[in-house]
A and B are shown apart, each in its own frame.
Chain A
Amino acid sequence: MLHKRKGNPFTEGSRELFDLAGQGRIDVFFLGGAQIDGAANINLVRAEGRRFPGSFGSAFMYPVVPRTILFREEHSKRTLVPRVEFVSAAGSPHALLTGKALFSWQKDRRRFRLESVHPGHTADEVRNDTGFDFDFQAVTTTAEPSAAELALLRGPVAKAIQADYPDFAKRVWGLN
């Protein structure tokens, strides 16, 4: 939403976001990947002979922003791999969130740890569908969002996103 079409905060062009991050003024950033590996590298460039758009600003933002949260809705051996084919960006994330589970990152061991599994999925399923090794101990069930959080997401957040991502807002929230 930083680059929203109307009223975005930047007056110095698209470099201003990166300059803000370089100074430490961006606290949290979210990054996805065509592939994500067990060393928390992300790949936005190529996989299995297919070319993707490219790394965007990830190579800079990931190591520079203090809390980066990795996400990938598709949780499969195709997306969560032992080693990415191309390292677009490397860093130490705060967490990795998928459509099935939440992992934390152990900076000292440089390995993910499974924290919780979303309702409707099991730890065994997550182990089977993850291409990299990870640690786990007391795995819990991911807490469901509260009614207030859902109302916020389906109300003001959906509306704000619709202005720049109309197709996404239509698909996810049925907004027209």
Chain B
Amino acid sequence: MLVGMPPDYSMPAMEVVRELIRRKARNLRLLGVPVLGLCADMLIGAGCVAEVESSAVSLGEAGLAPRFSEAVEKNTIRMNDATCPAIHTALQATEKGVPFMPLGGVLGSDLVKGRKDWKVGPDPFSGRQFLLVKAIQPDVALFHARWADEAGNVWVGRRKELATIAHASKHTFVTVEEIREGDMLADELLAPGVISATYITGVARAERGAWPLGIADVYGIDDAHLALYAKAAKTREGFEQYLEEFVWSPRKSFSPASSPA
């Protein structure tokens, strides 16, 4: 199952990630739109992942994603390396219902050799060579957002890569901070940040569901927790201890509700 997920700065559904680990999900294929961070490193470390397609997996300022790096070095997951705009373009092709789309740049990169779903071909008008990327349709889009409403719409504000994933995926599941009354599409100020219910398969409320990552104007990224994770996950034992503390039997003092706003 191919699961499209956002980067750490764009509201991954972390509470769902923790539940997937608790339920011992297996053989997931993760698609980073266009990169991945904590959610992927945790799922990989917990053995939930068979394959990753992403332009990068990193913990940002907290450093390398240690469980990802080790899994690739030891060949326990397949890594399908991409570059950011190629993933956006492949999803936009699916949004438009066309089989592929051209993209500038990229030629000369070894990434092209590693991809069966990327070809190089001429612009039929000018004859110039372009990268042609095959459309990608994730089975599931999974992310967190600030609001859903009674009409089934979801508000993501400026985080439009989430709309792209939702538009291109067969199913979209979203956790939200809050469920509002009414229909956000009837509000001209909110409507531009809304993914309409047409694209949404299911919504669940999960307060502070992005923690230890953030959601703009509600709570910030818990940088101290990310640093704690980065340090713990450097070793397999440290990672297992982290899971014990924050996933299997979350300690009250570190529960999402106590993270800084």
Interface residues in chain A, defined as those with a beta carbon under 8 Å from any beta carbon in chain B:
3, 5-6, 10-16, 18-19, 22, 44-46, 49-64, 86-91, 164-168
Residue of A nearest to B110 (CB): A87
* Size category of the binding interface on chain B: 35 or more
Q: List the B side residues contacting A88 at CB < 8 Å.
A: 109-111
Task: Give complex CA distance A87, B106 in Å.
Answer: 10
Report how far A87 CA is from B83 CA in the complex, Å: 12
Q: Mark B85-105, 1 if CB is under 8 A from A, else 0.
A: 110100010000000000111
Given pairs A14-B161, A55-B82, A55-B83, 4 additional interface contacts (CB within 8 A): A15-B164, A22-B103, A56-B56, A63-B108
How far in angstroms is the closest Cβ of chain A from B199? Answer: 15
Residues of B close to A55: CB separation below 8 A: 55-56, 81-83, 109, 111
Residue numbers in B under 8 Å from A61 (CB-CB): 105
- Contact A91/B111 with A5-B221, A51-B69, A54-B56 known, Cβ cut-off 8 Å: no
Q: Give the residues in chain A near B54, CB-CB below 8 Å.
A: 54
Closest chain A residue, CB of each to CB of B217:
A6
B216 at the interface (CB under 8 A from A): yes
Q: Which residues of B contact A (CB under 8 A)?
A: 7, 9-10, 34-35, 54-58, 61, 64-65, 68-69, 72-73, 79, 81-86, 88, 92, 103-111, 158-164, 214, 216, 220-221, 223, 227
A-B contact pairs, 5 of them (CB 8 A): A13-B161, A18-B85, A51-B72, A57-B55, A63-B104
CB distance from B93 to the nearest CB of A (A): 13
Instruction: For A10, list chain B residues within 8 Å (CB).
Output: 158
Chain A positions within 8 Å of B106 at CB level = 59-60, 63
Specify which of B10, B105, B214 lies most central, judged by the most chain A CB atoms within 10 Å of its CB: B105
| 3 residue pairs, one from A and one from B, having the closest CB atoms | A13-B160, A54-B56, A90-B108
Closest Cβ–Cβ distance, residue A132 to chain B (whole Å): 18
Question: What's the dominant secondary structure at chain B's contact region?
Answer: mixed
Does A167 lie within 8 Å of B35, measured CB to CB?
no
* Chain B residues with CB under 8 A of A46: 72
Q: Which chain B residue lies CB-closest to A90?
A: B108
B158 touches A53 (CB 8 A): no
A56–B55 CB distance below 8 A: yes
B108 and A57 contacting across the interface, CB-CB below 8 Å: no
Specify which chain B residues have a CB less than 8 angstroms from the CB of A56 in the assembled complex.
34-35, 55-56, 83-84
Task: Output the nearest chain A residue to B88 by Cβ-Cβ distance.
Answer: A15
Query: Are A50 and B83 in contact, CB atoms less than 8 angstroms apart?
Result: no
CB distance from A55 to the nearest CB of B (A): 5
Contacts of B79 in A (CB 8 A): 51
Nearest CB on A from B169, distance (A)? 15
Interchain nearest-CB distance for B40 vs A (Å) = 11
- C-alpha gap A64/B216 in the complex (Å): 31
CB-based contact A59/B111 at 8 Å: yes
- Given A5-B9, A15-B88, A54–B81 Cβ distance below 8 Å? yes
